[in-house]
Amino acid sequence: MILRLKDNFITDNSLECEEGCYFLLTSQNEKFSKQAQDKHARFIDIKECKRLLNIDENIKLIGITGTNGKTTTAAAIYSILLDLGFKCGLCGTRGAFVNEVQIDEKSLTTQPILKTLAYLSHASEEKCDFFVMEVSSHALVQKRIEGLNFTAKIFTNLTQDHLDFHKTFENYKQAKESFFTDESLKFINKDSAMIKFNVRNCFTYGLENPAYYHVKAYALEEGINALVATKEQKYTIDSSLLGLFNLYNLLAASACVNELVKPKLENLEKAITHFGGVCGRVEKVSEGVIVDFAHTPDGIEKVLDALKNKKLIVVFGAGGNRDRTKRPLMGAVVEHFAKRAIITSDNPRDENPKAIIRDILEGFKDKNRALLIENRKEAIKKALELKEKDDLVVILGKGDENYQEIQGVKYDFNDKIIVKEILNQGK
């Protein structure tokens, strides 16, 4: 990546180096430093890079990590802070935003450090008070957040994912734990599989277990209504979002904002209510049709459990070149909740889609309960054809992604657009 300055540029790629340019030396690229040196680049560290980019070190960084909930929790914090009158930036799975303006498209959950510094430079120009980041386990292992000083950190939950990269669940857990060793403000989900963390400056939150931010009572029939209590305060969460998992997301977000800025509680409650959720997360795209990004056994279970009062027709698959062991677990969860299951392709990448479907099917006790339709568009079409009056079609795995990756090629594909096209053809 190249960042242009007035009379020079910064890069973290030795192949882009020219004589006199700045080469940002990081843990990720240090093995290529000889190439940069041979091209007579000027080496800089992250501290010097921040100075060159005029990054305001007073911007308070908030980092969120966990298997599920990062995107919604980050978006909720961003929305609440903006609603309370603060200037704020955000980066993660959905791209990068500063004060409600999108400044970069969707990409990695956590970008390489130079790209993040570019976001912070933009946030500095816009006089941001806060910047919210999703932090992935990959980024923690690969040190993509080195040199960043976080004011607050949030742990959402921990369930199986990314074992293709981490190899074991313990490695995955340790990656998450590495984010919580310092003395920054921390918010830990007390109801999740626990991780090790530095207890200094730590706040816990939860519903089932004793926690500093504790939900005393809640209802999930029509959206979310909950009473949250600490030792000194009480406030309500009143939201149109669905599901217990979103109550956890809003609890984490509201606790973090409450500790950081100490707002009037009535203003905090209004700001929570104004947050309308995230595109592609339990998003209603047509009457009786929902799309969601859930792509892990735990994520799928949480979404389907939130919708279990409906008769569910579930369309789902699993990503190729990723953890194979979670595929039958996903199948078992869908079989438990669905009136009808349709197994299809997600992003098969370099794998054979039929092989992925077979892996998922292994999780079904009754194999006849699943329809196998490899073509995702045809699978969605079949689900809409099967839908009866009171049924709910739930399309899982891609959310608001706008592509499908097959054999190294990304084809235009968006579940929401496909649904609307099919329904319009039927008119």
| Predicted pLDDT of residue 167 | 83
- The closest alpha carbon to 306, from 281, 285, 331, 324, belongs to 281
| Predicted pLDDT of residue 285 | 93
State yes or no: 288 annotated in a binding site. Answer: no
pLDDT in tens for each of the 427 residues of the chain?
Answer: 999 999 999 999 999 999 999 999 999 999 999 999 999 999 999 999 999 999 999 999 999 999 899 999 999 999 999 999 999 999 999 999 999 999 999 888 999 999 999 999 999 999 999 999 999 999 999 999 999 999 999 999 998 676 778 789 899 899 999 999 999 999 999 999 889 999 999 999 999 999 999 999 999 988 999 999 999 999 999 999 999 999 999 999 999 999 999 999 999 999 999 999 999 989 999 999 999 999 999 899 999 999 998 999 999 999 999 999 999 999 999 999 999 999 999 999 999 999 999 999 999 999 999 999 999 999 999 999 999 999 999 999 999 999 999 999 999 999 999 999 999 986 6
State yes or no: 65 annotated in a binding site. Answer: no
List, by residue range, all CATH 3.40.1390 domains of the chain: 2-52
| Predicted pLDDT of residue 253 | 98
State yes or no: 144 annotated in a binding site. Answer: yes
State yes or no: 70 annotated in a binding site. Answer: yes
Dihedral over alpha carbons 148, 149, 153, 157 (to 10 degrees): 30
| Predicted pLDDT of residue 161 | 74
State yes or no: 181 annotated in a binding site. Answer: no
Q: Report yes or no: 196 and 177 within 8 Å, Cβ to Cβ.
A: yes
- The closest alpha carbon to 377, from 410, 408, 342, 336, belongs to 342
| Predicted pLDDT of residue 427 | 63
Domain 2-52 CATH assignment equals 3.40.1390:
yes
| Predicted pLDDT of residue 165 | 80
Q: How do beta strands 224-229 and 289-292 pair? A: unpaired
Whole-angstrom distance, CA of residue 352 vs CA of residue 100 = 40
Strand partners, 89: 98, 131
Domain 60-274 CATH assignment equals 3.40.1190.10:
yes
Q: Token pair for residue 27? A: 């843990």
List, by residue range, all CATH 3.40.1190.10 domains of the chain: 60-274
| Predicted pLDDT of residue 205 | 98
State yes or no: 156 annotated in a binding site. Answer: no
Q: Give the distance from CA 293 to its chain's centroid.
A: 9
State yes or no: 68 annotated in a binding site. Answer: yes
Please report how the helices 376-386 and 415-425 are oriented relative to each other, as an axis angle in degrees rounded to 10: 50
State yes or no: 93 annotated in a binding site. Answer: no
State yes or no: 352 annotated in a binding site. Answer: no
State yes or no: 71 annotated in a binding site. Answer: yes
State yes or no: 142 annotated in a binding site. Answer: yes
| pTM exceeds cut of 0.75 | yes
State yes or no: 26 annotated in a binding site. Answer: no
State yes or no: 4 annotated in a binding site. Answer: no
Q: Report yes or no: 162 and 172 within 8 Å, Cβ to Cβ.
A: yes
| Predicted pLDDT of residue 222 | 82
State yes or no: 258 annotated in a binding site. Answer: no
State yes or no: 198 annotated in a binding site. Answer: no
Q: Report yes or no: 365 and 378 within 8 Å, Cβ to Cβ.
A: no
Q: Which residues of 80-102 are buried (b: 16+ CB within 10 A; e: fewer)?
A: bbbbbebbbbbbbbbebbbbeee
State yes or no: 151 annotated in a binding site. Answer: no
State yes or no: 105 annotated in a binding site. Answer: no
State yes or no: 407 annotated in a binding site. Answer: no
Question: Regarding the domain with residue range 283-425, which homologous superfamily does it belong to in the CATH classification?
Answer: Mur ligase, C-terminal domain (3.90.190.20)
Q: How distant, in Å, are the alpha carbons of 202, 315, 343 from that of 403?
A: 40, 17, 18
Termini Cα distance of the chain = 47
Q: How distant, in Å, are the alpha carbons of 224, 295, 400 from that of 306?
A: 11, 16, 20
State yes or no: 340 annotated in a binding site. Answer: no
**Cα diameter, the chain:** 69
Q: What is the chain's Cα-based Rg?
A: 22
Q: Report yes or no: 241 and 222 within 8 Å, Cβ to Cβ.
A: no
List, by residue range, all CATH 3.90.190.20 domains of the chain: 283-425
